[in-house]
Chains A and B, each alone.
Chain A
Amino acid sequence: MTDKPAGFNLIHHADKQSCLELSGDWVQGCAAADFDGLCATLEAQASSELVVDGASLGQWDSTLMAFLLQCHAYCRREQLAFSARNLPDSAGKLLALATAVDAHTPPQPPRTPALASLNPLRLLAMVRDRLAESMAFIGELSVALARLVTGRSNTRFVDFRHFCYQAGPDAFAIISLTSVLVGMILAYLGAVQLQQFGAGLYVANLVTIGMLREMGVLMTAVVMAGRTGAAYAAQLGTMQTNEEIDAITTMGISPVEFLVVPRILALIVVMPLLTLYADLLGIVGGGLVAGGMGITPLQYISQSELSIKLSHLSVGLIKSVVFAILIAVAGCRAGINSGRSSAAVGQAATEAVVTAIVYLIIADAAINILFQQIKF
């Protein structure tokens, strides 16, 4: 493609004028023009005018134009007069177009030291802002729920039903898989220890109590945080991007009542049901492992039955409601406060899942300590 190499020749005239003669083919893949060298020579010549001459120019494309634009910018910076002659017609037009508007200088962002993000005061301020934001959201949510109870809310029952379906039956497959496996894991873990004491039968107690109080609800919550919490954040974030939330607000409807309340209620209704389902399947999974260790199904079932107490079941169900609120609040808050670009929606979904899981673990620990203290 390149027959003649691209090049230039800087000629210094007596009357403080430098002439830049372009030659060869200035196309993609040609040897890079030495712009820094040109600047140095220009400086040495101390001219007050630069004339670009394109008389012996061969083929050209954007490579040439980018170079000419650089020359133009240099002349402007160093206050040299810039002109061009004998350029191909269209190149001249393009150059005129490119230099019609002065370059914009973006404002310099304030320089922050590299470790500024680790400054404890800044971190504290960030946590405070987050907390204030969450509090404001929970406040709005409480008002919306109060209006729902008094029957003055704009929450639609259709939405509620739709989200119940989305969060419930749609999640059966994945919940089944995880809870059976968790039940099996619990059984394996316990069986090895218990058999040392000849107490292998008590695997049934371990699995039943473990699933009811802890693992059933926790695994369901983690799955729902990833599945439903992220979906809520992405839906609301996209609605924010499309100005749908603005439209809802200007119609005089509270976005919290219209969008957030049905989602939270749906999760509060569905989570306990999913937890019961997960508990049951977990116990079945444990039974499979126990069967492999010589415990008959009848033994396993009767031993499980003995260990089931209402208190164990209610601990799990109480947790499931708390977790449902946390997941839905984390998801909806991230979505409503999302920025208005595709990148921001992604961030909102990530934030929803991360905060939901952190909340879950903290709440789980707190509830366990509480019930331990009151011997429930």
Chain B
Amino acid sequence: MADSDGSAHISVRDLTMAYGSRVIQQDLNFDIQRGDIFVIMGGSGCGKSTLLKHMLGLIVPADGDILYNGESFVRAGAAGQEAMRRRWGITYQSGGLFSAMTLGENVALPLQLYTHYRSREIADIVAYKLALVGLAGYQSYYPSEISGGMRKRAALARAIALEPEILFFDEPSAGLDPISSRLLDDLIVQLQESTGATVVMVTHELASIFAIATNSVFLDPETRTMIDCGDPRQLRDHSKQALVRQFLTRSAAVAEDSS
């Protein structure tokens, strides 16, 4: 317990996730350091998105705890959780932009709700946030009028509106072409470098994992627990678990088997 509790930004402790009596994953223990780009990996159906939903507080854990800056989220109470959530930015799989609002209004909403900026300042900050994700001048567009990649970036602009300490992404590159996906990865890294935020993402895009991740956890659907964690580049070459190495070198493993 005393190991890295104080310094870790997010700590998952003995987490058990279950839907009713069906256990999805158990005994999850890992730390995410400040400034990490942390990836949750694993095969389909292993509970990656469920883990993210637990971390976001959308699902209450069956057992265990999640600590942010050493503070328990589970035991924080409604007001405490609200305060913690305000320091997060979240980008959902399909964007989660409000379709009845323009991009400008989407980004302005959290600013109007939680800050004391005057409306003119909000307009300036919205322009700046959209410029950060390469969408300067798109304030008056509706989400249905722009492409999927642009929607993802617009959702990111809304997620960073309140200058969050932690950015969560659910499958950021799902449904994007390789170039848009690469540009989004670059953007995530650049934003992380300039704001110092911690990034937590669920993805199984290997290219994206090796390009940006600095830390990761691997969930196994068979044993229903995490089987390894660490820098994915290290895991690819040195993981003790054959499954993890296979996952991370999918094509190579197949080639070895066939030769």
Contacts and interface: CB of A to CB of B under 8 A. Distances in A.
Nearest to A98: B131
B182 to A, nearest CB: 15
A247 to B, nearest CB: 16
A343 B194 contact: no
A93 B194 contact: yes
Contacts of B136: 98, 101-104
A343 B98 CA distance: 9
B163 A106 contact: no
B138 A32 contact: no
Contact of A339 (B141, B144, B187, B191): B144
Interface string A320-352: 000000000000000000011111100000000
A61 B190 contact: no
Interface in B61-101: 98-100
B137 A103 contact: yes
Interface string A85-107: 00000110110011111111110
Interface string A55-74: 00000011101110110000
B125 interface: yes
A104 B137 contact: yes
B140 interface: yes
A339 B190 CA distance: 36
Given A69-B128, A69-B131, A97-B191, A28 B137 contact: no
A29 interface: yes
B124 A94 contact: no
B118 interface: yes
Given A66-B121, A341-B99, A98 B138 contact: no
Given A62-B125, A97-B191, A343 B100 contact: yes
B250 to A, nearest CB: 30
Given A103-B137, A342-B99, A94 B132 contact: yes
A61 B128 contact: no
B129 to A, nearest CB: 7
A99 B116 CA distance: 26
Interface residues of A, number: 31
Contacts of A341: 99-100, 142-144
A241 to B, nearest CB: 9
Contacts of B98: 342
B193 interface: yes
B115 interface: yes
A105 B137 contact: yes
B100 A342 contact: yes
Contacts of A104: 135-138
A101 B131 contact: yes
A104 B104 CA distance: 13
A368 B100 CA distance: 42
Contact of B125 (A63, A94, A97, A343): A63
Contacts of B117: 28, 63
B143 A28 contact: no
Contact of A90 (B99, B135, B138, B196): B196
A66 B124 contact: yes
Contact of A32 (B121, B127, B196): B121
A63 B196 contact: no
A109 to B, nearest CB: 9
A65 B144 CA distance: 29
A103 B128 CA distance: 11
Interface string A155-179: 0000000000000000000000000
B35 to A, nearest CB: 12
30 contacts: A28-B115, A32-B118, A32-B120, A32-B121, A62-B128, A65-B125, A66-B127, A66-B128, A70-B127, A90-B193, A90-B194, A93-B194, A94-B194, A97-B132, A97-B187, A98-B128, A101-B131, A101-B134, A102-B136, A103-B137, A104-B137, A104-B138, A106-B137, A106-B141, A341-B142, A341-B143, A341-B144, A342-B98, A343-B99, A343-B100
Q: Which 10 A-B pairs have the closest CB atoms?
A: A341-B99, A104-B137, A343-B100, A93-B194, A103-B136, A66-B124, A103-B137, A98-B131, A101-B134, A66-B128
Given A65-B125, A93-B194, A104-B138, 19 more contacts: A28-B115, A28-B117, A29-B116, A62-B129, A66-B124, A69-B127, A69-B131, A70-B124, A90-B193, A91-B194, A97-B187, A98-B131, A98-B136, A101-B135, A104-B137, A106-B138, A341-B142, A342-B98, A344-B99
